[in-house]
Structure 1
Amino acid sequence: MGGALVEVVHDRSMTRGLKGAGKLEERIGYDFADRELLTSALTHISALSGKNRHGSYQRLEFLGDHVLGLVMSEMLFREFPRADEGELSRRLADLVRKETCAEVARAVDLGAAIKLGSSENNSGGRKRPAILADVCESLIGAVFLDGGYVAACELVERLWGERMRQPQKPIRDPKTVLQEWAQGRGLPTPSYREVERTGPHHNPEFRVEVSLPQLAPAEGLGPSKRVAEQAAAAAMLTREGVEPAKQDA
């Protein structure tokens, strides 16, 4: 009898989850052929028992992060034919940063569909920007696997298109913002160090580390040292809860 009761409760829980997933599909304008991909994309590690992380969204988040960057780069390239590399890079950085992904997630009420463990749920995990951003990226990864690149492009267009076409807000140099932020806290000027250079001579990729006392270092990648330094500064600012794109000069 007890086993039957557990089975009934489990089935009801799964039914509620499927209904929630169906509503999310309506909101994002995409129906999954493989519902397991959608389930994985929405499952936080706290909802899984044991140490098995393969059922969570983490691997899909990794994929979705890179798919979003590629799709958005192509969209920007086509939408702004007169923009130089610097402008395209600034626009891209603003559109794919964690804060923007969290805003997109809130716009489609993604938090309501996330599967969380009880402790994470009770502590407000559905509204936590880091989780919302991660699941937003994992959703893109799941759509890419389920429907291919075209489906991922269409999803990003629906969710980011209007935002992408808005007039660009003045974006302050992340290195300048980080230096001012550090000085305001009595810290010295941030130091930058080239960690690695890879790729052919005509198309290198630099990895740069930025350091400040009392803080863990942050790294950034770019086709030049300057761009990599900017990326590293932006990474540290994001980690510390500072948003360069929203600060006025």
Structure 2
Amino acid sequence: MSGHVSEATATELTDRLGLTLDPDLLVLALTHRSFSHEHGGIPTNERLEFLGDTVVGLVVTEYLYRRQPDRTEGELAKMRAASVSQRALAEIARTLGLGEYVLLGKGELSTGGRDKDSILCDTFEAIIGALYLAHGLEPTRGVVERLVGPTLESASRLGAGLDWKTSVQELAAERGLGVPTYVVDGTGPDHERYFTARLVLDGVTWGTGEGTSKKIAEQQAASAAYEALQQGEGTDGTEGAGAP
């Protein structure tokens, strides 16, 4: 796919979204910076991503406020964070097949960019930003609620998953394992950093994670550690002192 979107492709994607987009605006929403770098510095989707991030946040916040009247501010904040996380929005992007359409440079294509959470999440937010510019808030709200709604509904049932780091810390305390520490390593240049994290309790690695930010990597490590603690065994096969 080059720097344009065929009419058939545009129709295919907008049918999935439920709203139309001007071809030029659609191309802009799909243009990753890696593609721009290889094509003379053409505009990227980063400004649309910035806008879409705010629109998604507003719609999700109001949705939770109206649908969850008995939740505290802290609980609502956790539900919102879980619902608009990079991983959650990337999964929504996958259901739309956005990876098929995003315009990527050769380097990103060669390293599986079409299925990277960071790229998929950013592209989804850019698409929402484009829909907002084209149609305004109310039609775009309908798209966001339809696409993010299932995640929002499941967020109320996630329990520990709303904040893995807090949950694993509480569970570790219950098991007498002390306070978790995170060992984080980053690779790559500053603008393309990738992080791996290990959650360690009393010298034992209980979970590992990775992502495009320290926060994402640590949350994934905490999620894995929570499950391992429930089973009573660290990822290196060592039983914890507080394991049942």
* TM, length-normalised to structure 2: 0.67
Give distance in 1, aligned partners of 2:97 and 2:184: 39
CA RMSD across the alignment: 3.2
Which structure 1 residue ranges, 5 or more long, are not aligned?
1-11, 182-187, 191-210, 217-234
1:35-184 correspondence to structure 2 within 5 Å: 35-48=23-36, 49=38, 52=41, 55-166=43-154, 167-171=156-160, 172=163, 174-175=165-166, 177=168
The equivalences for 1:177-196 within 5 A come to 177=168
Query: Which deviations, in whole Å up to 9, do the C-alpha atoms of 1:80-122 show, x marking residues without a partner?
Result: 1221112111110100010001000011111111111223222
Determine if contact 1:105/1:132 at 8 Å carries over to the other structure.
yes
2:50 is matched by which residue type in structure 1? F
Aligned to 2:202: none
Alignment partner of 1:28 out of 7, 17, 25: 17
Do the aligned partners of residues 177 and 41 (structure 1) sit closer, same or farther apart at CA in structure 2, a change above 3 Å counting? farther
Q: TM-score, normalised by structure 1?
A: 0.66
Q: Deviations over 1:125-148 (max 9, x none)?
A: 111111001101111111111111
Q: How many residues end up aligned between the 2 structures?
A: 192
Amino acid at match of 2:215: L
| Percentage of matched positions with identical amino acids | 32
Matched, 1:18 2:18: no
- Relative to structure 1, the CA distance from residue 138 to residue 14 in structure 2 (aligned partners, 3 Å threshold; closer, same or farther) is closer
Partner in structure 2 of residue 203 of structure 1? none
> CA 1:38–1:180 in structure 2 vs 1: closer, same or farther (change >3 Å)?
farther
Partner of 2:208: none
State how far apart, in whole Å, the 2-side matches of 1:38 and 1:16 are: 8
1:47 to partner: Cα distance: 1.5
Give the aligned residue type for 2:11.
G
- Measured in 2, the distance between the counterparts of 1:60 and 1:40 equals 8
Question: Structure 2: where are the runs of 5+ without partners?
Answer: 173-178, 188-212, 231-244
- Cα deviation, 1:186-237, whole Å, max 9, x if unaligned, reads xx977xxxxxxxxxxxxxxxxxxxx988679xxxxxxxxxxxxxxxxxx633
Would the aligned equivalents of 2:32 and 2:103 in 1 still touch at CA under 8 Å? yes
Q: Distance in 2 between matches of 1:22 and 1:213?
A: 43
Equivalent-residue separation in structure 1 for 2:34 and 2:3 (angstroms)? 17
